[in-house]
Amino acid sequence: MKACVIVFPASNCDRDMKVALEASIGSPVDMVWHRDTQLAKYDLVAIPGGFSYGDYLRCGAMAARSPIMAEIKKHAERGGHVLGVCNGFQVLCEAGLLPGVLMRNAHLKFICKDVQLKVERADTAFTGGYKAGQTVTYPVAHHDGNYFADAETLKRIEGEGQVAFRYVDNPNGSLGDIAGVYNAGGTVLGLMPHPERLVDPLLGGIDGKPLFDHLVKTLAA
């Protein structure tokens, strides 16, 4: 399979994502600059964390209007898989690829710590390496991770199984303890915690590794 990581000005978790993906794929992962528009050869597009465009305006709002995003939308429409982590989640919401928005944390403070998450589903390409209801540990590092959606949207995503992960002990005020959501087809995932930061025992744990391993296994099949 072929995967790439999108790089925006001020992205700072792009290399972490590349290393995590390469460990599961066993071959190089491309870094694609945000002004490029060639994604047809990729099975997976990853949008990493960081502070794209310095988080001016709203987090992810400027990156959502970069040239590459039109191609990412086409990729998703073709059924291609997209993973957005932290700032990547914000970008996907701002671009309309995922429902809801990410707002300032409830306590107005930057949060950087390990958190526990509940896996809601285990029947997607992203979460098939876990069990439904399993608790995993991922790190968070964000200032604007407070997930919000209007009542109608929240009812829809809850009813249609679009919640991917929930916080066990909600650190930021997210509605419904939501830490990650899918698109309607389950091919686009956005989540605030960082699975790529726990894929090796040297990093303090491997709870993030099953996400990448199963995603690669599924897309390479």
Supply the pLDDT for residue 54: 85
Give the pLDDT score at 56: 78
| 190 confidence band (pLDDT: 50, 70, 90) | very high
Average pLDDT, the chain: 96
- What pLDDT digit, counting tens, does each position of 81-130 carry? 999 999 999 999 999 999 999 999 999 999 999 999 999 999 999 999 99
- List, by residue number, the catalytic residues: 86, 194, 196
Is 50 a residue whose pLDDT tops 90? yes
Q: What percent of the chain has pLDDT over 90?
A: 95
pLDDT number for residue 119: 98
43 phi, psi to nearest 5 deg: -85, -30
Beta strands in the chain (DSSP E): 3-7, 30-33, 44-47, 81-85, 101-103, 111-119, 135-142, 146-148, 163-167, 178-182, 188-191
Which pLDDT band, with edges at 50, 70 and 90, does 149 fall under?
very high
Q: Is the pLDDT of residue 221 over 90?
A: no
Contact 69, 95 (CB under 8 A): yes
What is the per-residue pLDDT for 1? 93
Give residue 153's pLDDT. Answer: 98
Angle at 38 between CA 98 and CA 216, to 5 degrees: 60
d(CA 92, CA 41): 21
pLDDT, residue 217, reads 97
| pLDDT category of residue 143 using cuts at 50, 70 and 90 | very high
Helices vs. strands in the chain: H and E counts, helices first? 5, 11
Please state the pTM of the whole predicted model: 0.96
Q: What is the CA radius of gyration of the chain?
A: 16
pLDDT the model gives residue 37: 86
CA distance 219 to 123: 14
Q: Give pLDDT, residue 48.
A: 97
Domains of the chain, each with CATH number or no CATH: 3-220 (3.40.50.880)
Q: For residue 58, name the pLDDT band (cuts at 50, 70, 90).
A: confident
